[in-house]
């Protein structure tokens, strides 16, 4: 119920070391993605650890410009080469955007599974309507849906959907990019149990049946996150954290879920979009300039990356507009997260 996330862990030596340290400390689930640019370093870390590859649950994700059927196959083979493995335990569709077309993309994932290159098919950042379409295309539900989830963004609808349909829910950013560490409800519970606030957030996710994949590079934070597995929250603790989602207005919690419209219109994906409070969500990057450089260099076919202080609540926001080959030329899928400068010392 706990894995190591590797988003933004793009220094090869640091990434290799953090993966090795995590596995040696007791982690057995490592999450990466093509867009992270660190699959080779993740593979090196697994190879360097005192753990057999067969004991590691390894997951990666196919980026949105690689979701045409032939690109799914080719890019996954490239990922396996970088990771230094014959197969991965789970391969996700990273976003339902770009070249994604459930009727064409997902059968390619099924082909990869039939060939033994992936063991399970997952999706990421999918809403219920996306999951319905994916299930129709596959003839089965995806194994997992990876979404942003934490005490400040509790994803009740998706949790209910996952429970009713037998889908594993995996939480990225389970510490809300360090913002849960300052929440008074969370810190009070942490003081009560003499543990860190990070452990409280991760233990709450475990109570909800969700697998958290916090990112960490320092060995102390790696071990602190792992210690959450020994923390048992009582009913009062869980209810208090649950109230963070129920009893606060969007402005008070800092979240305003985005809307998912029909494919023929502009689509905004729910990622904890800002509502004028301290918490901001950024599933692609912490700031605009690294996005421009890293995505443009790694994926030159990405049609347009726009950056503007366009959020009406005053925060600096960027949007990535990606034309989907499965829709009309005028159809554009837009991911609009808010961005901010975040702490490097304790990230998730």
Q: Does the annotation mark 100 as catalytic? A: no
Please spell the DSSP secondary structure of 175-194, one letter per residue.
TTTTGGGG-HHHHHHHHHHT
Please spell the DSSP secondary structure of 241-278, one letter per residue.
HHHHHHSS-HHHHT--------TTS-B---S----SSS
Residue 348 is predicted with a pLDDT of 53
Please spell the DSSP secondary structure of 25-68, one letter per residue.
HT--EEE--GGGT-HHHHHHHHHHSSS-GGG-EEEEEE-GGG-S
Q: Which residues pair with 146 in a beta bridge?
A: 124, 170
4-246 maps to CATH 3.20.20.100 = yes
CA distances to 51, 84, 306 from 48, rounded to whole Å, are 8, 12, 40
Cβ–Cβ under 8 Å, residues 137 and 115:
no
What is residue 149's DSSP assignment?
Answer: -
What is the DSSP pairing of strand 211-212 with strand 90-93? unpaired
Query: Across the 348 residues of the chain, what is the mean pLDDT of every consecutive 10-residue run?
Result: 96 98 98 98 98 98 98 98 98 97 98 98 98 98 98 96 98 95 97 98 98 97 98 98 66 38 33 35 32 39 32 27 31 35 35
Q: Is 165 left (phi over 0), alpha (psi -120 to 50) or beta?
A: alpha
Q: What is the largest CA-CA distance in the chain?
A: 56
Residue 180 is predicted with a pLDDT of 95
Catalytically annotated residue among 27, 36, 100, 161: 36
Q: Where are the alpha helices (DSSP H) in the chain?
A: 12-25, 39-48, 69-83, 102-114, 128-138, 156-165, 184-193, 197-207, 219-226, 235-246, 250-253, 288-298
Q: Is 332 left (phi over 0), alpha (psi -120 to 50) or beta?
A: beta
CATH 3.20.20.100 domain locations along the chain = 4-246
Q: SS3 for 82? A: helix
Continuous segment of H or E residues that includes residue 124: strand 121-124
Cβ–Cβ under 8 Å, residues 106 and 74:
no
pTM of the model: 0.77
Residue 93 is predicted with a pLDDT of 98
């Amino acid at each position: 119920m706990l894995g190591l996330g590797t988003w933004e862990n793009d220094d090869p030596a640091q990434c290799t070391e953090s993966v090795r340290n995590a596995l040696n400390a007791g982690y057995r689930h490592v999450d990466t993605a093509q867009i992270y640019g660190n699959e080779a370093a993740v593979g090196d870390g697994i190879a360097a650890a005192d753990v057999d590859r067969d004991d590691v649950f390894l997951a990666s994700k196919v980026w949105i410009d690689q979701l045409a059927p032939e690109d799914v196959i080719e890019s996954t083979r490239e990922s396996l080469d970088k990771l230094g493995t014959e197969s991965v335990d789970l391969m996700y569709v990273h976003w339902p955007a770009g070249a994604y077309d459930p009727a064409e993309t997902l059968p390619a994932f099924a082909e990869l599974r039939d060939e033994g290159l992936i063991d399970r098919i997952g999706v990421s950042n999918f809403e219920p309507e996306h999951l319905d379409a994916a299930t129709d295309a596959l003839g089965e539900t995806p194994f997992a849906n990876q979404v942003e989830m934490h005490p400040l963004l509790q994803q009740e609808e998706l949790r209910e959907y996952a429970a009713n349909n037998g889908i594993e829910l995996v939480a990225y950013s389970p510490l809300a990019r360090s913002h849960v560490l300052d929440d008074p409800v969370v810190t009070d519970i942490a003081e009560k149990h003499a543990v860190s606030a990070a452990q409280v957030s991760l233990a709450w996710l475990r109570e909800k049946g969700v697998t958290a994949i916090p990112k960490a590079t320092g060995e102390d934070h790696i071990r602190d996150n792992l210690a959450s597995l020994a923390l048992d929250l009582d009913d009062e603790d869980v209810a208090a954290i649950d109230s963070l989602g129920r009893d606060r207005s969007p402005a008070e919690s800092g979240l305003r879920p985005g809307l998912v419209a029909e494919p023929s219109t502009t689509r905004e994906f729910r990622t904890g979009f800002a509502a004028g409070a301290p918490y901001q969500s950024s599933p692609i990057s912490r700031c605009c300039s690294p996005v421009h450089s890293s995505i443009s260099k790694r994926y030159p076919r990405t049609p347009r990356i726009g950056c503007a202080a366009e959020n009406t609540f005053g925060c600096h926001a960027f949007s990535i507009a990606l034309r989907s080959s499965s829709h009309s030329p005028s159809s554009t899928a837009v991911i609009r997260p808010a961005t901010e400068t975040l702490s490097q010392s304790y990230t998730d």
